[in-house]
Structures are given as structure tokens and as C-alpha cells.
Amino acid sequence: VARSMRMPNLGLPPFHNFTLGELEEATNNFDPVNLVGERCQGQVYRGLLQSGSAVLVKCIKVKDKHSPKALKQHMDVISQLRHQNLVSVLGHCIVTYQERQKSSTIFIVFEHVTNGSLREHMTDWRRKERLKWPQRMTMSMGIARGVQFLHAGMTPGVFGHDVKIETILLDESLTPKISNYRIPLPFMAETANGQSASSSADPEKEDIYTLGVILLELITGKQITSESQVDELKLELERGLSESASALQQAVDLSMRGTFAYQSIKTATEITLSCLCKDPSRRPPMEDVVWHLQYSIQAQQAWTTSGNLAFNSGNLGLHK
């Protein structure tokens, strides 16, 4: 992991090698009541450790063509999945079953983030009221940094995460955390529907696109459930950019009116549209996305410092 991308102080306990007994106790013997769902790569259960910490336990079945040493090497990589913008890994347990066809189950223990998803916050008007442009911009950067860490903060990088607004969880301070990202286990068994974790021809560029969809929803405030909606909202933003500052202001979420600098929203809109290019080869690399979002934040901070931020309809936030 690149040193610049390490997060040494996340407030997390040290990575722990759990016993099967500890996880059975935490999940009440994997009681179906505690089954959160069948997600990408395996079943997930909620649990409670003896320490009182709430956790999620993902159960992954693997084809056992690998030695215990190979399994351990991959778990060493997984132990690095600790970042302030990921639902971080707290520990693991490997159980090998000596049956006719030898197999193993890997239990991966994650922190449990319980303040709801970004989608829930964006569709509940009371919660949404707290998410003005400065908050959404900070969240956008956090999500982008989480994806960047998965792509470049580990060797090899991990791609093809199908990041969605529903799988972005928020902690109590509204820090976004990517959940349900792909675990780097190349020797995994197939998932329940018989598909591999990522079927995209270019999973890196696909991650850029799905990030763009999240940014589009944060900018427009509109819930996106189809590709046709993505196309419609893209056209609205493209028209806004080409016409005037007031036209772009009309295309963004009205509940943010008066809370954004024009240069900040313009920069964020431009990089969002680039992420959403139909041609994957024209989508920007992840470092460019982060750079533009950082510039957008700096433009917002400069504008706010100048005393422009006003939560009222008289100030449309269009000063350049």
C-alpha cells in the first residue's frame, strides 16, 4: 500500500484473527435472524463482539485449490482494507472443511456503520436539509478517495465494485464509507447466481461511471433509478453549462440554493459529465476525478471565506 494513502489513525482496533467460536457467539450461531442479505461474494450477518462492538460478518466460500499459505497471503492483502472512506475490515477467520471435496470458508469481519445510507439521507427531506453543497462536496471527495484507495492504494489494485448510492453508508459525522466493495480473492467460488464479481470489460472505467452517477444525484438532488434518467439529467447539466451561470443554477438541486460558489458547482459538474461519457476510453482516470473535486472544494472554501455563504434565497451563490 502506498504510504501516502495509508490511514494510520482510523479509530479502529488492531486487525484480529478471530476464532470460529468468537464469530458464532457474535452472530448467535449465524442465526437467520441476523442475516443481512446475500450480497456480492457471499452471505452477510450482523453480530455483536464481546467488546460490545457491532460488526458485519461476510461468509465467503472458496474453491480449495490453494494451500493455507496462499490463503494467508491473500488475507494479508485483505487486512489492508482499512480506510476512512471504506467500511473497514476488522479481522478474519479461515475454516477448512475436510470433506470429499476439500473447501474453505473465509469469514471477514467489518465495522458496522449504522447511520443509514447516502440514498436514505438524500430521500428523507429532514436528513436532506442537512446536506447543502459544502456537505455534498465533502462527501463526493470522500467517496472518490475511497474508490481511489481501492484502485491505487493496494497492490494489485481492486476494480469492479459496482459502487451505488445505496451502498455508501454514513457514520455519525456524515463521513461516507463504501460498503459491499469487491474483496480481492481471485480463487473465489462463483456467486449464488453463477456470475463472477465483475463482468465489465473495463472494471476500472466502470467504477468511474458509477461514481459519476452518484455525483449526478448529489448535484441534481434527484433520485436516479434508470439509465434514461442519467441521460436526461446529463442533458440538463450540459445545457446549463453551455448557456449561463443562472441556467446551471436552475439545473442543480434547489434545496442547495445560496450555498454554493459557481466555480465550485461548475467544476464538479464538468468532472461528473466526464465520468458519465458513454465511451469508457474518454472517462477520466481516478486521480483526475480527485484533483477536480479538490479544486471544487477549494473554490467553495475561498468563496465561503469571503463571506458569501448565505442560507437564503436572496443569494444564489453565483459569484465567480
- Higher pLDDT: 85 or 182? It is 85
Q: Which fold has domain 16-111?
A: Phosphorylase Kinase; domain 1 (3.30.200)
Residue 29: pLDDT above 90? yes
DSSP, res 255: G
pLDDT at 200: 63
- Alpha-carbon span 28 to 2, nearest angstrom: 38
In CATH, what class is 118-305? Answer: mainly alpha
Is 162 annotated in the active site?
yes
* Residue 182 pLDDT grade (very low, low, confident, very high; cuts 50, 70, 90): confident
Candidates 124, 162, 171, 279; catalytic one? 162
Q: What is the pLDDT of residue 149?
A: 93
Using an 8 Å Cβ cutoff, are 109 and 35 in contact? no
Please state, in angstroms and rounded to a whole number, the distance separating the CA atoms of residues 28 and 33: 9
CATH 1.10.510.10 maps onto the chain at 118-305
The residue type at 112:
H
Q: Give the mean pLDDT of 269-277.
A: 98
Q: How many residues does the chain have?
A: 320
Q: What is the pLDDT of residue 54?
A: 92
Residue (of 236, 239, 235, 181) closest to 211 by Cα position? 181
Q: What is the pLDDT of residue 164?
A: 94
Confidence at residue 190, expressed as pLDDT on a 0 to 100 scale: 40
State the span(s) of the chain assigned CATH 3.30.200.20: 16-111
pTM equals 0.86
